[in-house]
Amino acid sequence: MSNTHSRRSFLTKSALGTSALGLTAISTYGQGYEEAIHKAPKHGMPSDLKITEIKCGYIRNGHSLFVKIYTNQDIWGCGEGVDAVPGTYHLVKMMGQRIKGKSPLNVHRLFEDIRKSGFFEGAQSGMFVAVLSAVETALWDLAGKALGVPVYQLLGGKFRDSVRVYMDTALYQSRLPTPEDFAASAKEAVDMGFTAVKFDLDQANDPNKYDRYNWTASPAELQRMYDQMAATREAVGPNIDICADMHGRYDAVTGQQVAKMLEPIHMMWLEEPIAAENVEAYKAITDSTSTPICAGENVYLAYGFRRMLEIGAVDIIMPDLQKAGGLGEAQRIANLANLYYVPFAPHMVASYLGAMASAHVCASVPNFMILEWQIYFHKDPMYKEIVTFDGEMVEKGFITVSNKPGIGVEINEEGMKKYATPGMPFFE
């Protein structure tokens, strides 16, 4: 049974048992019960929709988690968690037990029920919150399908119909790319219609490193970084945004040097020159340069961003919405940042399910800047096989936000199965 048809059956059965929908008055238009039900206000939804089960599957060696939440009315919801999820199968099942039998329409309440019940189980960050992000996202998807509206509508509506994305070129430094490689990769992205690109600058196997454990950059490393980004700017001209990621692998001295050195290149941002834990050190870097500093992909929940925003530690925040707490929490983070006039530019290394889920949040907040997009959507066929969706993934550097009920992207279990992580249960 399709999700669309099952929602219609659900609405029909529930409407027959309640006078709250005012069917007598509506049916006088002569269109019949079914049309009357579809015209009825969605806030009159009955309360007998209940969660019955949660199942999950993993790909990418366990680093991508997909969940499906099922109900007693054949309506389901899909969600995704990334990075901090390997080995979390039993955590998914535990969360499922804690919400079984409850209404999936109370998304914020269920989020708090799970989070607070895990107070002594690591619910402040890490794997617990990453798994909760997948579950919470699936609840929004389920609620949207049950109520017949897209997720952005449940989040309060949208400021924009499409969201701008930047291309992460995945020109990994482990391959020792040259400045010419940077220039060619940037041109390729621009030719594909993107108006913003990102590159990695950290390079563990740079022959000019002092040693593998010392993340103070040598003069030769600094020169390499500058040459790579200068070649990028020259290749794409002044009207394309460029940014660089250092993955939190350097010390504060290097962070300051790189940010200052890149000022003439007019970067969109320099991303995570140091690890996320010390926001005071971030503030020292941010205060020392006109290069915008961006961080946040390894920060969890709105609480994690509070101090960072209060002291002006960064110029731009980039929570990962498949890891930081889900869609409702992402909107809280964005709204908190908006109080400090800080742009919201989410990190995104998920599938197209995660990308579209993120797009709903990006559409729903005023201070959205740009969303991450990955070259693997264009290079790796897996990413089209593991989900189903309508239309194009991205056009001219923008994702069109789906108007279908829920997120608008479904898990394709058959397509995903051949990529499943060995030794892990797959939607069982």
pLDDT in tens, 249-286: 999 999 999 999 999 999 999 999 999 899 999 999 99
Q: What are phi and psi of 320, to 5 degrees?
A: -90, 115
**Interval 170-181: pLDDT, tens:** 887 678 899 999
Class assignment of domain 51-149? alpha beta
Q: Which of 81, 32, 28, 22 is nearest to 57 (CA)?
A: 81
CA dihedral 409, 413, 414, 415 (to 10 degrees): 50
Q: Which residues pair with 68 in a beta bridge?
A: 55, 78
How many Cβ atoms are within 10 Å of 188's Cβ, its own excluded?
A: 17
The whole-number pLDDT of residue 3 equals 53
Per-residue pLDDT at 22: 39
Question: In this predicted model, what pLDDT tens digit does every residue of 157-206 receive, in sequence order?
Answer: 999 999 999 999 988 767 889 999 999 999 999 999 999 999 999 988 89
Q: CA nearest 345: which of 375, 307, 314?
A: 314
Name residue, tokens 């690591």.
Answer: 122
Task: Pick the more confident residue, 114 or 211.
Answer: 114
Question: Percent of the chain, pLDDT > 90?
Answer: 84
DSSP 218-240: PHHHHHHHHHHHHHHHHHH-TTS
Provide mean pLDDT across the span 89-107.
97
The yes/no answer on whether domain 154-404 falls in CATH 3.20.20.120 is yes
Which three-class secondary structure state does DSSP give residue 373? strand
Confidence of residue 29 (pLDDT cuts 50, 70, 90): very low
Residue with tokens 């197209």: 352
Where are the strands (E) in 72-145, listed by range? 76-82
Of 335 and 24, the one with more pLDDT: 335
Segments making up each domain of the chain, as ranges: 3-44, 51-149, 154-404
What does the pLDDT look like over 32-71, one tens digit per residue? 434 433 543 443 344 689 999 999 999 999 999 999 999 9
Length of the chain: 428
Q: For residue 190, which amino acid is it?
A: V
Mean pLDDT of the chain: 90
pLDDT tens digit sequence for 376-385: 999 999 999 9
List own/partner pairs for 217-226 with CB under 8 A and 24 or more apart: 217/250, 217/254, 217/257, 217/258, 222/254, 222/257, 222/258, 222/261, 225/201, 225/258, 225/261, 225/262, 226/261, 226/262
**Residue 116 pLDDT level (bands cut at 50, 70, 90):** very high
Query: 154-404: same fold as 51-149?
Result: no
Prediction pTM value: 0.89
Can you tell me the distance from the alpha carbon of 347 to that of 343, in angstroms, rounded to the nearest whole number?
13
Q: Which amino acid is at 407?
A: I
- Amino acid letter, residue 96: G
- How far apart CA 389 and CA 334 sit, in angstroms, is 27
Q: Which long-range contacts (CB under 8 A, 24 or more apart) does 121-127 make?
A: 124/300, 124/301, 124/303, 125/300, 125/301, 125/304, 126/84, 126/300, 127/84, 127/85, 127/87, 127/88, 127/91
Only one residue has tokens 């945004």, namely 241
φ, ψ for residue 105 (rounded to 5)? -75, -15
Quick one: pLDDT at residue 171? Answer: 85
Contacts 24+ apart (CB under 8 A), 9-13: 9/73, 9/74, 10/49, 10/73, 10/74, 10/75, 10/146, 11/37, 11/38, 12/37
Number of H helices, E strands in the chain: 17, 13
Report pLDDT for 19. Answer: 37
Per-residue pLDDT, averaged over 301-318, amounts to 98
Per DSSP bridges, beta strands 196-200 and 316-317 are: unpaired
For the CA atoms of 317, 321, 323, 324, the dihedral, rounded to the nearest 10 degrees, stands at: 50
Give the model confidence (pLDDT) of 314-331 as tens digits: 999 999 999 999 999 999
Q: How far apart are alpha carbons 55 and 98 in whole angstroms?
A: 14
